[in-house]
């Protein structure tokens, strides 16, 4: 971030400056553990912690100024709503960056694949500023914008949504030069009520394009392909069709290989055939940003997973493989992960440990039942369901296949670990998959740590 005067910040957010006017801030943080000298500390009131109580910790760590919604005993800017103020600051700051240099702002949305596509672009565009983890909401996106500076050429932003209007708000903060829509599935469906309403929310990303901007759309997803009339310039990608197309798609032990027109075959390092969609999207963006096709293709093949708990495959010393995809889950990503498990486990047993998919609304029961049916149809060796919210997956599996020992249900993560300790053996592949809020990622961390 380029240095900003305290008064400029106060003017940008419409707040009251209660601090010496000669203060300059050089970064913005919401976590006191991340603060460096010269930071602006944004104090949020959360469910468990009031950030205003941590102002002394922020000052001790070197914060020069605080953004607050109630007075504190420290140099501060007082606003009505810290989240709204942070968005206003990012919006004003990005407008300044556009006057100071050539910056291309790339926005990515979709029910699945946003973070992986962002991680791929961070490797294809080495000068890019991209979110940490999944900073894709009204707090994370402004923080990402504020990490850029006058030398930034590519700013990659994830744009998530859990309620109508979320994406439109984010694009007002950061108007886009390139808008990427990956998929319309059922993740966060509870906030919208129908797939059509969710598709409309994703399509609003295109309304956030700046003049001359380009939409990059997934031709394999009918709801995404139907958005093509909402932008003046459109590029498409896909396996079944599109301007950029994966040719001769094959998978081997979970890793996909394919050709691009005029270029040779490459194998992705990412686990799961579903990552072809993310790879094609990242490649299309890279070309739009000026990379040569051959260079972009080579970089894509060499790209590695960057974010934790996303189809991370660990080979333990005891011969057990852990496939950790426990950061988030939807029916679509769950289905893809189960298929990847079956492919990775060739020659060994396949064990799926699944927890609840959150924010599903009325679709929750049917979505979890489909997991159980998929497990039976794929002939997985063990489906271990964890937690009451995911129990319908177990019930559906038993009803479909009358499995006996091939399906099990436990209430807690501790019980799941006991089952795995008793039943897992060398050569097995264990998938851990659930929404982050279920906490199943803790089991994944334990299982990976056990084999370090």
pLDDT at position 403: 61
Cα three-residue angle 54-59-62, rounded to 5 degrees: 130
Cα three-residue angle 417-422-423, rounded to 5 degrees: 100
If asked whether residues 151 and 255 sit together in one domain, one would say yes
Residue 120, in any domain of the structure: yes
**Average pLDDT of the chain to the nearest whole number:** 94
User: What pLDDT, in 10s, does the model give residues 212-229?
Assistant: 999 999 999 999 999 999
Give φ, ψ of 165 to 5 degrees: 95, -10
If asked whether residues 402 and 276 sit together in one domain, one would say no
> CATH number of the domain that 369 lies in?
3.90.190.20
Number of domains composing the chain: 3
User: What pLDDT, in 10s, does the model give residues 253-312?
Assistant: 889 999 999 999 999 999 999 999 999 999 999 999 999 999 999 999 999 988 889 899
111 against 401, higher pLDDT = 111
> CATH number of the domain that 60 lies in?
3.40.1390.10
If asked whether residues 25 and 112 sit together in one domain, one would say no
Looking at 274, 302, 330, which one is the last position of a domain?
302
Q: How many angstroms separate the CA atoms of 297 and 260, rounded?
A: 8
pLDDT at position 363: 85
User: What pLDDT, in 10s, does the model give residues 39-65?
Assistant: 999 999 998 999 999 999 999 999 999
If asked whether residues 250 and 321 sit together in one domain, one would say no
If asked whether residues 356 and 389 sit together in one domain, one would say yes
Query: Has residue 451 got a pLDDT over 60?
Result: no
User: What pLDDT, in 10s, does the model give residues 358-411?
Assistant: 988 888 999 999 999 999 999 999 999 999 999 999 999 999 875 678 999 999
Q: Where are the beta strands (DSSP E) in 382-426?
A: 382-386, 407-410
pLDDT at position 360: 84
184 against 347, higher pLDDT = 184
Mean pLDDT (whole number) for 347-356: 95
Mean pLDDT (whole number) for 430-435: 96
Query: In 3-state terms, the chain is what percent helix, strand and coil (to 5)?
Result: 40, 25, 35
Mean pLDDT (whole number) for 120-140: 90
If asked whether residues 64 and 114 sit together in one domain, one would say no
Q: Could you tell me how far CA 287 lies from the centroid of its own chain? A: 22
Sheet holding 233-238, edge to edge: 154-158, 104-109, 176-181, 209-218, 233-238, 244-245
pLDDT at position 189: 64
User: What pLDDT, in 10s, does the model give residues 316-326?
Assistant: 999 999 999 99
If asked whether residues 274 and 393 sit together in one domain, one would say no
Residue 93, in any domain of the structure: no
pLDDT at position 447: 95
Q: What percent of the chain has pLDDT over 70?
A: 98
pLDDT at position 388: 96
Domain that holds residue 354: 312-450
Highest mean pLDDT among 138-147, 396-405, 441-450: 138-147
If asked whether residues 320 and 297 sit together in one domain, one would say no
DSSP state of 45: B
Mean pLDDT (whole number) for 21-40: 96
Looking at 239, 270, 302, which one is the last position of a domain?
302
Q: pTM, whole model, 2 decimals?
A: 0.90
């Amino acid at each position: 971030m380029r240095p900003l005067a305290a008064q400029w910040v106060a003017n940008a957010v419409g707040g009251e400056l209660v601090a010496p006017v000669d203060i300059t801030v050089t970064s913005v943080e919401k976590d006191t553990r991340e603060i460096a000298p010269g930071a602006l500390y944004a104090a949020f009131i959360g469910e468990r912690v009031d950030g205003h109580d941590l102002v002394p910790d922020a000052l001790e760590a070197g914060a020069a100024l605080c953004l607050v919604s109630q007075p504190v005993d420290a140099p501060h800017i007082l606003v009505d709503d810290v989240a709204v103020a942070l968005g206003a600051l990012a919006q004003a700051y990005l407008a300044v960056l556009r006057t100071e240099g050539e910056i291309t702002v790339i926005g990515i949305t979709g029910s699945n694949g946003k973070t992986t596509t962002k991680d791929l672009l961070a490797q294809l565009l080495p000068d890019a500023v991209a979110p940490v983890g999944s900073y894709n909401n009204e707090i994370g996106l402004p923080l990402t914008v504020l990490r850029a500076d006058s030398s930034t050429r590519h700013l990659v932003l994830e744009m998530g949504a859990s309620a109508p209007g979320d994406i439109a708000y984010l694009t007002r903060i950061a108007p886009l030069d390139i808008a990427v829509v990956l998929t319309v599935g059922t993740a966060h469906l509870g906030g919208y009520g129908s797939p059509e309403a969710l598709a409309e929310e994703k399509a609003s990303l295109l309304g956030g394009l700046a003049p001359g901007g380009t939409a990059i759309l997934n031709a394999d997803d009918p709801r995404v392909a139907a958005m093509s009339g909402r932008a003046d310039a459109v590029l498409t990608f896909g396996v079944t069709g599109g301007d950029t197309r994966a040719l001769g798609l094959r998978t081997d032990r979970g890793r996909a290989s394919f050709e691009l027109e005029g270029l040779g075959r490459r194998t992705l390092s990412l686990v799961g055939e579903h990552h072809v969609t993310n790879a094609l999207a990242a490649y299309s963006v890279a070309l739009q940003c000026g990379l040569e096709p051959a260079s972009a293709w080579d970089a894509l093949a060499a790209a590695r997973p960057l974010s934790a708990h996303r189809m991370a495959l660990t080979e333990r010393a005891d011969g057990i493989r852990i496939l950790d995809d426990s950061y988030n889950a939807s029916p679509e990503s769950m289905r893809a992960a189960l298929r990847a498990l079956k492919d990775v486990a060739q020659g060994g047993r396949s064990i799926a440990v699944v927890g609840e998919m959150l924010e599903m609304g009325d679709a929750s029961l049917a979505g979890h039942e489909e997991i159980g049916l998929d497990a039976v149809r794929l002939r997985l060796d063990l489906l271990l369901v964890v937690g009451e919210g995911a129990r319908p997956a177990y019930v559906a599996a038993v009803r479909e296949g009358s499995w006996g020992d091939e399906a099990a249900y436990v209430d807690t993560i501790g019980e799941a670990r006991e089952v795995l300790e008793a039943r897992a053996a060398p050569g097995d592949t264990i998938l851990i998959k659930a929404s982050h809020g279920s906490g199943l990622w803790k089991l994944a961390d334990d299982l990976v740590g056990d084999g370090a």
